Amino acid sequence: MQDYIPTAFDFDPDARGHFGIFGGRFVPETLMPALLELDAEYKKVRFDEEFWAEVNYYLREYVGRPSPLYRAASLSKELGAEVYLKREDLNHTGAHKINNTIAQGLLAKRMGKTKIIAETGAGQHGVASATVAALMGLECEVFMGAKDVARQELNVFRMKLLGAKVHSVESGSKTLKDAMNDAIRHWVTNARDTFYVIGTAAGPHPYPLMVRDFQAIISKEAKEQILQKTGAMPDMVVACIGGGSNALGMFAHFINEEKTQCIGIEAGGHGLESGKHGASLALGRPGILHGQLSYLLQSADGQIDEAHSISAGLDYPGIGPEHSYLMEQGKVMYDSVTDDEAMEAFVWLSRAEGIVPAFESAHAIAYLKKIPKEEIKGKVIIISLSGRGDKDMPQAMEILKL
C-alpha cells in the first residue's frame, strides 16, 4: 500500500478554522500565540513528504497499518448483507487514537516541545499519548475525569506504567468535558515547552482539521480495500461518534461518493427521551465549548448539560465542528443507539465473530440491527471497529453477570 499523505478535502475549513458557521478559535488571549504557532507549523507539514514519510514509518512498523478490512461472515449471513469491519481495534494500543497521537507527537518534536499533555475519556487517548511519549522521549501528563478514572482502571494503570502522570479531575461531571477544561487550563500556563495533544476532531482550530487529516488514513485504506474485494463502492459506511474523529476518518474518502451513505452514531444512553444521553447533534444547540462553536448539549439558559453514555469515550456533551457542518449540509446521516442496544451488540459481535469490540464501537455495530430488514438486504456496509473491548472488561463483568 502506498504511503498516506492527506489530500485537501472539499470540507476544509477556512483560514481561521470555520466549517460554515462552526469551528473557529474561541480561546483566551493567552492561548492565541500557541495556536498560531501550531497553525503555522501544521501548514508547513500538511503536504510535506518528509514529515509524512516519518509518520508512515511509525504507522506501518509500530502501529501495524494497514489495518485489515475484514468480511464479517456470520453477521453478513444473519443480516443478508455484506458487512465489513475496518479493524482499528488491531492497532497497537487497541484503537484508532494512535493514528493521531503518532502524528501529533512527531509535530511536537519538530516544534521543539519536550512535554505533551492530553485529556482522555475512556483512557484510550491517554494510553495512545503516553505510548507516543515513551516512544519519542517526551514527558506526558494526562487529565482524566475522576468518574472515568474509576471505570477505566486498567487504562489508568497502563498510562502510569508507560511513565505518564495521571491527574484525576474532580470538577463538574468528572468526565471528559472536565478533563478537557483542565488540560486547556494547564496549557495556558505551560505552552512554551508543552504540546497539547487533543484526542478527537474538536477544540480550537487547527485541531479539528489536523485530527481529521490524521485519521483520514482509515478511509483511504478502506476505499482501496473494498474496491479490491468487491470492485465497487460500499452502500453505507458507519461509525460511532464521541468527538467524531474515527467517524471523520472513516467518512473522509467516501463522503463525495454518490453511492455511499455515511452514517454517524451518537450515544443514545438511556434513550433520547430520558434526558440521559450524549446525542449532541440530535438534541443539542450550537454553542461554544473548548474553543469551538458546535452543537452542544445545553440547558435553556446556556448551562452545559451532562452527557451520559455507558461508554466513557462517547460521554461528551459536544461534538467536533465538522460534524455540525456535515449534518446541516445533509452530507452525513446521524442516528443514535442506546446503552442497552450497544451492550446487546457487544455480546452479538463477540459470539458471532470472536471479536470483542470496545463499548464505543459496539454502538456502530448495533446500528446494523436498526436498519429495516428490507432495506439492508444485499447492501455492502463498512463499520468502523474503532477499538477493542479489553479496557471495558471490568465494566462488562459487572453489567453482564455471565
Q: Which residues form the interface with ligand PLP (CB under 6 A)?
A: 95, 97, 122, 124-125, 200, 240-247, 313-314, 358, 360-361, 386-387
Question: Measured from the CB atom, is 191 or 310 closer to ligand PLP?
Answer: 310
* Shortest reach from residue 133's CB to ligand PLP, in Å: 18
Beta carbon of residue 300, minimum distance to ligand PLP (angstroms, whole number): 27
Q: Please identify which of the residues 67, 86, 113, 119 carries the catalytic annotation.
A: 119
Round to whole Å and give the CA distance between 236 and 377.
Answer: 12
- Report in angstroms how near the CB of residue 231 gets to ligand PLP at its nearest: 29
Q: Return the SS3 of 190.
A: helix
**Closest CB to ligand PLP among 55 and 312?**
312
What number of H helices and E strands is found in the chain?
17, 14
Bridge partners (DSSP) of residue 381 are 83, 236
Q: Clarify whether 119 is annotated catalytic.
A: yes
Q: How far is the CB of 377 from ligand PLP (least distance, A)?
A: 28
**97 in catalytic set:** yes
Quick check: is 67 catalytic?
no
List the catalytic residue out of 97, 147, 174, 391. Answer: 97
d(Cα 133, Cα 344) in Å, to the nearest integer? 36
Q: Which is nearer to ligand PLP, 191 or 386 (CB)?
A: 386
Query: CB-wise, 101 or 386, nearer to ligand PLP?
Result: 386
What's the distance, CA 189 to chain centroid?
27
**Closest to ligand PLP by CB, 133 or 218:** 218
Question: Smallest distance, Å, CB 96 to ligand PLP?
Answer: 6
Instruction: Using the minimum distance from each CB to ligand PLP, give the nearer residue, 104 or 124.
Output: 124
> Of all residues in this chain, which one has the CB nearest to ligand PLP in the complex?
387
**Scanning the structure block, which residue is given the C-alpha cell 485537501?**
8
For helices 97-110 and 124-136, the axis angle rounded to 10 degrees is 40
* CB-count burial class (<10 Å; 0-12, 13-18, 19+) for 329: exposed
In angstroms, rounded to a whole number, what is the distance separating the alpha carbons of residues 65 and 75? 24
Q: One-letter amino acid identity for 56?
A: N
Catalytic residue among 129, 219, 386, 391: 386
**Minimal CA–CA distance to 146: which of 163, 118, 171?**
171
Nearest residue to 87 via CA among 246, 231, 236, 212:
246
- Kindly report the number of other CB atoms within 10 A of residue 192's CB atom: 11
DSSP string, 66-82: SPPEEE-HHHHHHHTSE
Alpha-carbon separation of residue 2 from 45, 297, 344 (angstroms): 18, 41, 38
Cα of first residue to Cα of last residue in the chain, in angstroms, is: 42
Task: Please state the closest distance from residue 281 (CB atom) to ligand PLP, in A.
Answer: 12
**HSE-up of residue 260 (Cα within 13 Å, Cβ side):** 23
Identify which of residues 191 and 284 has a Cβ nearer to ligand PLP in the complex: 284
Q: In terms of C-beta density within 10 A (0-12 exposed, 13-18 middle, 19 or more buried), how is residue 377 classed?
A: exposed
Q: How far is the CB of 364 from ligand PLP (least distance, A)?
A: 9
CA dihedral 402, 359, 183, 19 (to 10 degrees): -170
- CB closer to ligand PLP out of 314 and 366: 314
Minimal distance, residue 358 CB to ligand PLP, in Å: 4
Which residues are tagged catalytic? 97, 119, 386
